[in-house]
Chains A and B, each alone.
Chain A
């Protein structure tokens, strides 16, 4: 999946000369946590987070000044730069890695000469993960322990195909404790997974919890 498929293209931005007060106002108004700072050519030159802005604001314990001077400082005095950015044609999987490694939660999307075209946040990323797992549509869920060798996935999915059972998503996990095995997590669009479960059993596949309990449903 590409970044351009999940990025938001309407981005709230500020020029470097805007005040911290303006940033605070925008963060609250739009319920956002990051504001890219752009110059007159729409190029990303910095970024501020809600935490940067809060750190630069006076403490809530000093309440005597209703309009303190700190809030009038220019945003460029507190913005982070250079900015980690991504391209619309980057892979979503890669940017998950960037979020994790850099411990950040927002990535501006830029094209030629750092021109801002969109934004991807940690929340957008999580939403995409939900779509990838298939948990957002009605399904039954089956876990199968399989040997880690070529050809196993088509062999297993052929069983679903034969029953005309539509697969919503397939995930492959490492099997804990034995590197020679993998766990296939298959979500299928049916309320009656029984025929498929029976076929899998008969074909000799090891079904995992809760379909591995003997004595039930006799």
Chain B
């Protein structure tokens, strides 16, 4: 099945850069784009350049004072004390020149994606430079300055009044987006992530279900450290199908962080490319089932920038565009172009060899715990159908 899909990209997405030792590196977006181009899976006609978000658009979610602070930080004119108040100038979100400009393009990319879908020009659009889910109303955190996902959802609500399902598969809890819509019954957030017991940001407990009218519209599925493909996919697919059937969204916004992979240095999950083939396929299927195809996919985390993020994100596009993930060898041209730059051996195939996963002695226990979390998660959904196997 071929769908009309668009891919947001231009050099403007690459300037969000803290410093050379920072784990968040937008070169991932370039690596992904070239991987697809060299594989013959992305044409110039598929690409739409991002626009720069206006201040007004950014302020759909963020405070005026915060946006002004980011602008002053961009010109190195924000005093340290004030900066810390806004979460700027920390180890996680250091100040860099023109940071407002660079961040506004990531937001603009996501808004361009929304416009492409809601004008009917495309069914699915990806902005893999977006998905900065830790950004708060008046605070930067966890490598995120502006929360493009939250801004885009506000934009969809105000401009098009659609009910939005936000699906976050980053290994870290999608806290910024969750808190933004915690009391809103028209935005349903679902985040699967490594339990916050050890991992940043620490929230995302299954009991966080929303407040006031939004109660019952926040879903959190924390999975244990060292969770592997089988258990991850089992609980994820059951949960997402049930949540989509319960909420019946008009549009899906997915955050496709690629840091649940066993190579990722920042999380303790033990998955492989298998989950990054399956996640977009399920999202794609549900977008057609409930939303007449309307699906916006964002990037996010993913700190093995050579071996994991490019392949994982390229598969999001492959599924959007062709309905199926790619398989077999990666293009030789991509490998030879980048192998000198990469400190680790580049992968040769789209799929991972299962032997890359270390032996996990507590596998049974971990799967059992994840199943219990799944059951708790779905305890209050009105549907009570047996889990699809």
Contact = CB atoms under 8 A, between A and B. Distances in A.
B219 to A, nearest CB: 20
Nearest to B201: A138
Contact of A135 (B134, B202, B225, B264): B202
Nearest to A194: B265
20 contacts: A138-B134, A140-B200, A141-B199, A142-B198, A163-B91, A187-B202, A190-B91, A191-B142, A191-B172, A191-B200, A192-B23, A209-B225, A210-B225, A210-B226, A211-B198, A213-B268, A213-B358, A216-B268, A217-B265, A218-B263
A190 B200 contact: yes
Contacts, number: 73
Contact of B358 (A141, A191, A216): A216
Interface in A160-218: 163-166, 187, 189-194, 209-211, 213, 215-218
Contact of B200 (A135, A138, A209): A138
Contact of B198 (A138, A140, A217): A140
Nearest to B197: A141
Among A137, A164, A213, residue most surrounded by chain B Cβ atoms (within 10 Å):
A213
Among B143, B172, B197, B202, residue most surrounded by chain A Cβ atoms (within 10 Å):
B202
Nearest to B262: A216
B200 A217 contact: no
B91 A165 contact: yes
A192 B301 CA distance: 12
A139 interface: yes
B92 interface: yes
Contacts of B198: 140-142, 209-211
B175 interface: yes
Q: Give the 9 A-B CB pairs with smallest separation, nearest first.
A: A215-B358, A138-B201, A210-B225, A191-B200, A191-B142, A140-B200, A210-B268, A141-B198, A217-B265
Interface string B125-164: 0000000001000000111000000000000000000000
B199 A140 contact: yes
A192 B270 CA distance: 18
B268 A190 contact: no
Given A137-B202, A138-B134, A216-B226, 4 more contacts: A189-B90, A191-B143, A209-B225, A216-B262
